[in-house]
Structure 1
Amino acid sequence: MRRIDIKKFNALAAHTRSPAAAYVSQELDWFANDDETLLATLLLDTVDGDYVGVVLGRDEMGRFRCIDVESSLPTKEDAEAWIQRAMAWHGRDKQTTFPQGDGKNTRPLDLFTPIVPPGKLHPSFVRLCQSKAFAPARRLIAEIMPHYVDVDGNFVEQFQTTGFDARLWELYLHSYLVEEQLFIEREHDRPDFFVKKYGKSVAIEATIVGRRTDRPVSYFKTEISLPRDHEEVLRRREHEIPIRFGSPLFSKLQKRYWELDHVKGLPLVFAIADFHDDQSMMWTSTALIDYLYAVRHDFHFDENGQLVITPLKIEKHKVGNKEIPSGFFFQADAEHISAVLFSASGTISKFNRLGRQAGFKVPGHVMVRIGTHYDHNPNAHLPRPFKYIVDETQSETWAEGLSMFHNPNALHPVPEELFPTIAHHRFRDGQILSTLPEFHPYASLTMNLLGKE
């Protein structure tokens, strides 16, 4: 038996946790046997003040689940000793599967075995499957899939073909919701997720800005596809990108999910990510804020050197013959949409980094992340840069970089306490007021370097 880092435990067993356990216990330590076929956690019972040991083994689906538990242990040392004995007992015959009796006729989703002809495979899927640089992501996703419910019945086919980006975004959202310790229900085919906690519920529908049809798909290119200069960024963010965000959001609005019996009266959130071009997430998020609230912000420094932010009203966005009104939250029926959830980090690189943090790696692989993050200095007008090597010492979370933009006109506002680890943005008196975590990245680029083994 050996101690393991919580990041490894989370990668292997996070989806087995019950959010209810957090009410009565606190995780103190995590253990594994040598080949990681058994895991264990040591808990403090926060009600009685004693200790609990839990041993987990893989079931028929490959999910780590409880196979042994002992409570009311008087000391932490007693709990650790019990865990050591229990793991030795369950591992005595090198058993790797511990059937629970409820997985006989089901199998976990296998994302990586192609089910369509090679010519139909998405180039990003092919690269994900074949590149050594993305081995951490493959291993992490393989651990997640036994817990994922495919309500539509076509998740694997779409992930491997034309729906790669959209399905990856859904998988990211699922991982975040698990990390947030929310109860997730997937009994309906729409909206995509229902989450519950503290007696409150929220419905979440995922969508993306789809890829441009005038560019070949090259999601894993080593070169960076960005606008040529700052002027092009400003030009495209003013009109083109709001229109790109507006199209899927408006399409989802027409679905009228709030009229479904199982959605009526609940907060409804649209979760969107931008996959329209290579590396587009690195520079388009500002355009989403402009479009949602129909304002952009100018700034200057007053005579005392203090930052002054001035909101500027936006009426419309126009490119060629295409014209849309600005202000998604102010459109007809938009009061039924409680908030928009967005991240520039819901990419395969996120899975790769968190997989590497958990210890999934290949020899000779070095991963470097560079990007920008929010500067909490009230006078700062630019984000701060960051750079680090991705390894087991880092502590990135699924929530990192995720923002919720609240609708000021929402009929059913989102309970912010259900989503405590992300950034929240509200619109009041023409200004956007934000509550941000200590480290909130705007965008980042992950470089994969492969040396000799």
Structure 2
Amino acid sequence: MRPPSAVELRTREATTAVRHRFMLTSESIIRIQEQSMGEGKRKKKQRQEDSLLSKRLSRARFDLYTLGTRHSMARVLAQELSCWSDLDEQIIGLVFRDRQDDDYGWILLARDRAGRFRWVKMEHSKRSEDYATVGLRSAIASTLRTENLAELGSQGDEPNEPFDLLRVSPEIDPAKLHPYFRQLTDTAGRAPARAAVREIGPWLAPSDPHFVQEFQCQHFDQRLWELYLWAAFRELGFDVKQLEAPDFACSAPGIAFTVEATTVSPSQTGPLAAHPNPQTPEEVKDFLANYMPMKFGSSLMSKLNKTDAQGRHYWEREETKDKPFVLAVADFHKQAEQDQLGSMTFTHSALWPYLYGHRVEWEMKDGQLITRAVKNSSHTFGTKSIPSGFFDQPGAENVSAVLFSNAGTIAKFDRMGVVAGFAAPEHKYFRMGFRFDPDPNATRGIWFSEDVADPSYVEGWSDELQIFHNPNARIPLTHEWLSGLAQFYFEKDSQFSIIPNHHVWASMTSLIRLVPGDARQRSSTQNS
């Protein structure tokens, strides 16, 4: 056999080198694959460990926690997908889809020094909801391991300690506490209302040095009404700023209006102090046609005529100039008594005739509901008489609308707390009442009776709100701004309305405490 030539030797050497390099490359790839598989297993194990430190949060619970957190543009910019928290709900988070870029992200929130959930961390540009969810749960776990949660949520714009509307200062005489405040704090079944108040209170109380004491003592109803209004406006998507006067400035892109809250309180002197106790249908009719319009009129006219030290009305102040101005009224002049309903359950039917100076009469003719507006000249009770038609009074053209609800009560806060998962153990919460009937021939609402704790039960803060537009308004309130509310108009001697199907005219809430053995159930009923 002839010896290999030089060319053949070089060829064999080159081939051997290629094979050697190939073997080295293959071994490197295998090592990289093994390392990658190891890293994948490590990440999978880490994700499994992280998942043990977080849990899914219901949307209702997240919404209560963050009622004051979202800006009005949030719903426009992002689609909210799922909510999460650590096991103790010290930090919470949201997975979202960016509507403009069509990608995904998450945000993490922690409590600030006032006790409010605020933004602390965020990631975006994730390619899928799953990636964003894994990222959020990982962030929750790493935050728990590495962060000081007491300082994490601090924003630098809050007071140094949490605000708790339910904590009574040692300086306050217990005898001066309002009876309904004591009911809120001392009744076991009021745990859901307490949870709701604790979440909402820190958003209002820090800017008003008198809020806490007035809520606990002499002005419980008025302050609860303000808490309710703030919650309803926030739920409707507005940014809400608390003012010295009027109470609120509400805004959103292209929207701005102000609101002053007032309540109908018991009369201590004068003709209206002799509160009637109507029993027959005729007595109830007279009560709603005369006594209650005068009660509403007293509160509304007081706000209409009020001026500050510079002689300015509400609508003449810097914060309110050239904006729609709204008066928000609730009836607290007579609370519920044993086996009797509170006044706010049914007195809303007296407000419309007073505001527009007309009452509605109706009859059924050939199966059709026929209505007509009849002019009221005045309302009289005892020796006192007032003109009808608040919107026709001098200066009332500066009031764009009157807002009303009969739901600014502890019962409402209880129900919203129950929906958010804060029901008290061994208690039941049942609601019954009338919802709007869309049948054009209906003369009353649709009766309902529901278990508030049932997973299918749905309720919003603004479900009972009614807005009465002023036909003479100098600056009308655009009805699209408050879509979803019951809205009422009166034009050319005719009344018409826009009412959503979910609107609740009136309801009662029964709080039932379950006791063991053969002991009887104990319950209390409150209006909503």
Does TM, normalized by the shorter one, top 0.5? yes
Code of the residue aligned with 1:206 in structure 2: it is A
In structure 2, the partner of 1:218 is: none
Q: What is the percent sequence identity of the aligned residues?
A: 37
In 1: Cα distance, 2:374 partner to 2:280 partner: 24
- Give the alignment partner of residue 42 of structure 1, picking from 71, 95, 111: 95
Q: Give the gaps of 5 or more residues in structure 2.
A: 1-53, 270-275, 307-312, 336-341, 517-528
Letter in 1 for 2:283: E
The answer to whether the aligner puts 1:194 opposite 2:249 as a matched pair is yes
Confirm whether residue 258 of structure 1 aligns to residue 312 of structure 2: no
Structure 1 equivalent of residue 264 of structure 2: 209
- Name which of structure 1's ranges 337-346 and 84-93 shifts more when overlaid on structure 2: 84-93
Deviation at 1:101, TM superposition (A): 4.5
Tell me which moved more, 334-343 or 228-237.
228-237
The alignment status of 1:66 with 2:122, answered yes or no, reads no
How big is each residue's C-alpha offset from its partner over 1:402-427, in whole Å with a ceiling of 9 and x where there is no partner? 01100000000112232222111111
Which of 388, 402, 410 matches 2:465? 402
Please say which structure displays the higher CA radius of gyration: 2
Q: Distance in 1 between matches of 2:437 and 2:503?
A: 9
Q: How far apart, CA to CA, are the structure 1 residues paired with 2:145 and 2:105?
A: 22
Q: CA deviation at 1:105?
A: 4.2
User: Residue 306 in 1 paired to residue 359 in 2?
Assistant: no
Shift in Å at residue 150 of structure 1? 4.7
Find out whether 1:110 has 2:164 as its counterpart: yes
* 1:87–1:368 CA distance, 2 compared to 1 (3 A): same
In structure 2, relative to structure 1, the CA distance for the partners of 1:101 and 1:287 (3 Å cut) is closer
In 2, are the aligned partners of 1:151 and 1:189 still within 8 Å (CA)?
no
Q: 1:33 to 1:428 in 2, by over 3 A?
A: same
1:355 aligns to what? Answer: 417
Greater displacement, 325-334 / 152-161:
152-161
Give me the whole-angstrom Cα distance separating, in 1, the residues matched to 2:120 and 2:432: 42
SS in 1 for 2:67: helix
Instruction: Give 1:275's aligned residue.
Output: 332
Aligned to 1:127: 183
SS in 1 for 2:209: coil
Q: Which runs of 5+ in 1 are unaligned?
A: 215-224
TM normalised by structure 1 equals 0.94
State the match for 2:229 in structure 1: 173
Q: What is aligned with 1:220?
A: none
2: CA distance between counterparts of 1:150 and 1:83? 31
CA positional deviation for 1:118 = 1.3
Three-state SS of the structure 1 residue aligned to 2:66 is helix
The Cα RMSD (Å) is 1.8
Q: Which runs of 4+ in 1 moved over 6 A?
A: none
Instruction: Note if 1:56 corresponds to 2:56.
Output: no
The answer (yes or no) to whether the contact 2:247–2:259 under 8 Å persists in 1 is yes
Of the two structures, which has the highest relative contact order with CA contacts closer than 8 Å and spacing of 6 or more? 1
Deviations 1:264-309 (A, max 9, x none): 2111100000001121111100100010001111111223x11111
**Conserved in 2, the CA contact under 8 Å of 1:372 and 1:385?**
yes
Number of aligned residues: 441
Q: TM-score, normalised by structure 2?
A: 0.81
- 2:79 pairs with 1:16: no
Structure 2 vs 1, CA of residues 334 and 101 (structure 1 numbering), >3 Å: closer, same or farther? Answer: closer
Q: Confirm or deny: 8 A CA contact 1:211 1:275 kept in the other structure.
A: yes
* Conserved? CA contact 2:84–2:137, under 8 Å: no
Structure 2: distance between partners of 1:181 and 1:149: 21
**Are 2:436 and 2:503, in contact at CA under 8 Å, matched by a contact in 1?**
yes
Match of 1:155 among 183, 197, 211: 211
d(CA) in 1 for partners of 2:406, 2:142: 46
Deviates more, 1:283-292 or 1:231-240: 231-240
